[in-house]
Each structure stands twice: as structure tokens, then as C-alpha cells.
Structure 1
């Protein structure tokens, strides 16, 4: 299992960060420029990664103000889970951790680790700038 992650502290209450992340419609704002054909509901999202693949995700688990877990809703080249974990650092500060857990063989790990890390880094940075 390969785990790719990053975290950031956001000056917002944990409940506010959770409400934003719990609705997949909001995740389009967190995506990099190479994502297009975005379509979503509160529970599912599908999109195309430029020069790569089409991907569809669904929320498999919500733990209020703590965690949000997404899994592919269609077949993917490798098994993966996308997980947002939230920790209240104070009444107005939240630590948000985004991780991708993927079953990558050595070849896929060499090819995918860099782009996946860039995606994780982009999403946590964009979450902070989006929520202020």
C-alpha cells in the first residue's frame, strides 16, 4: 500500500471545513487545471484527467467533523482510497490532512507517485486559499 499525503492548518472551525469537504460539488474548486469534464452531486463526482483517464468517485464514509472517504465508483487501473482527515486544533483552527492510499506495483509507483503527490499538494494548498 502506497500512502501519499499532505496536511495544512486552516483558520476556520472544523465544522466549516467539514461541511465544505462533505459536498463533492465543492471539490471542483480544489482540482488542478488538468481536470476537465467535471460533473458532480453531493455524493459523487466524475471527471477527466488530461492525457490520462476518466475517473468517477463516490463518498463511501462520512464521520462528521472528522473524516471523509472517497472510493472509485468505476473500474480504475489500481485500487485506491481518497481520505480527508480533520482535527480541531482550536475553536477556529483546523488541521486538514488529505491522503491517497493506492495499491501500486513498482512500475505504477514509479509512474504515478509524482503526479499523485502533486495532486495532494495542490488540493491542500487550494483548500486553504479557498476557505481563507
Structure 2
């Protein structure tokens, strides 16, 4: 299952946005308002929970400086990745598009598609507001 966010423009150049996202503690400001937990567990990993949802632990899996960052689930129970592709627009602006990829059975995919889509929309709209 793959879900793409819309591409948004951020008021940071590609290097600035990449460095912001590489520092996992910054994800706290991008989280939806209904967050019930956010905790940095390592320099490259954090746990978060939204009200009424199970905790999700993410870690940095891959980086390509200033153009790509991939976060992935630490647990194998729900295997997925969240990839951000960054492109410079100018000295002070860049664009980012998020791609959620996961291997889910059809029933699970149907249940999580809407919440994941909303989650991606929140992340991108909060990045747009940076």
C-alpha cells in the first residue's frame, strides 16, 4: 500500500529542511493536535501515539543529504516506511513530498488508509507553515 502526500513548499532551503527532519525531536512540532505521546528514544528514533491509536516507534532508516530521508517502523508487526523527498526551489525555499509505504493485508489497508492520509496531510501542512 502506498499513499503520497501533496507536494508542499517550505520556507527553508533543501539543506535546512533536511537537517530539520534529520533531528527526530523536531517531529513533535509536526504532529497532529490529537497527539497523546511523543518521546525521543534515541538520536535517530522516537515514539508517538495519537489519541485512541497504538504507539508507533519510528527510526531513521536512510538519508541522502538534502534530498531524501526515510523513517521506518522499528517493530516488524506493522512494517512501513515514511519517505520524504526534498527539492530545492530557491535559496530559501524547498518542496517536499511524503510517501507512506507499507505491507498490509487488504482489511488492514482499508482501515488505515484514511487515518494515514490525514496524518500525511497534517505533517505536510505543518511543514508548509514552518
Determine if contact 1:39/1:47 at 8 Å carries over to the other structure: yes
Give per-residue Cα distances to partners, 1:17-67, cap 9 Å, x unaligned: 111111110001000022222111431001222212111111011111011
Q: How much is the aligned-residue C-alpha RMSD, in angstroms?
A: 1.5
Which runs of no fewer than 5 residues in structure 2 stay unpaired?
none
User: Quick one: distance in 2 between partners of 1:5 and 1:101?
Assistant: 12
TM-score, with normalisation over the residues of structure 2? 0.90
Give per-residue Cα distances to partners, 1:54-89, cap 9 Å, x unaligned: 11111011111011111111243x321011110112
> How many aligned positions are there?
129
* 1:119 paired residue number: 119
Runs of 4+ in 1 over 4 A off after TM superposition: none
Give per-residue Cα distances to partners, 1:64-122, cap 9 Å, x unaligned: 1011111111243x321011110112222211111211112221122111100000000
Which runs of no fewer than 5 residues in structure 1 stay unpaired?
none
TM-score, with normalisation over the residues of structure 1? 0.89
Determine if contact 1:9/1:94 at 8 Å carries over to the other structure: yes
